[in-house]
């Protein structure tokens, strides 16, 4: 009986800690859909958003959400490391927290618009402290 009680207590405490970590990491709560729907800006830097999650996220690319815009393709991952690894694996990528942007093939939009898209993503939580790739 003591073992069952100890195991149950351990399970409940562990679940609580894991839930607390997810709640405390507000960056994990940001979805790409939220970025696409953000109407608080005068300039739209997520032009023509299309949800491509079902076609790109899966066995080959372990993302949980994906959108394509005129400026970039956005991919959300379950960890910061996965987002950073993906951004580093493409020729023209950028990552902030759980979201990576891929600018590959997005040549019909100005580099200023792409820079603004990076700044919008980086400024969402107003805590980004890093460089932006040259555009």
Which has more confidence, 63 or 11? 63
Residue 67: closest CA among 59, 81, 79, 56: 56
* For the chain, domain boundaries: 26-124
Is the pLDDT reported for residue 2 higher than 90? Answer: no
Are the beta carbons of 65 and 75 closer than 8 angstroms? yes
Is the pLDDT reported for residue 127 higher than 90? Answer: no
Confidence of residue 1 (pLDDT cuts 50, 70, 90): low
Q: What is the pLDDT of residue 85?
A: 98
Spell out where the chain has E strands.
Answer: 50-51, 65-68, 73-76, 93-96, 99-102
Q: What is the pLDDT of residue 28?
A: 74
Query: Which whole-number Å values give the CA distances from 113 to 44, 59, 107, in the listed order?
Result: 9, 32, 11
Q: Supply angle C-alpha 87, 93, 96, rounded to 5.
A: 65
Q: What is the pLDDT of residue 7?
A: 46
Is the pLDDT reported for residue 131 higher than 80? Answer: no
> pLDDT per residue over 103-125, tens digit each?
999 999 999 999 889 888 887 76
The rounded distance, in Å, linking the Cα atoms of 9 and 41 is 48
> pLDDT per residue over 18-34, tens digit each?
444 444 555 677 788 88
Query: Percentage of the chain surpassing pLDDT 90?
Result: 50
């Amino acid at each position: 009986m003591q073992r069952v009680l100890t195991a149950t207590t351990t399970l409940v405490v562990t679940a609580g800690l894991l839930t607390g970590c997810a709640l405390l990491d507000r960056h994990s709560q940001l979805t790409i859909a939220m970025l696409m729907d953000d109407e608080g800006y005068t300039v739209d830097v997520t032009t023509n958003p299309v949800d491509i999650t079902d076609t790109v996220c899966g066995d080959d690319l372990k993302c949980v959400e994906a959108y394509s815009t005129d400026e970039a393709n956005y991919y959300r991952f379950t960890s910061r490391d996965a987002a950073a690894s993906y951004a580093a694996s493409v020729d023209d990528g950028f990552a902030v927290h759980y979201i990576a942007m891929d600018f590959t093939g997005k040549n019909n939009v100005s580099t200023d618009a792409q820079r603004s898209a990076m700044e919008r993503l980086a400024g969402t939580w107003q805590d980004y402290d890093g460089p932006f790739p040259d555009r």
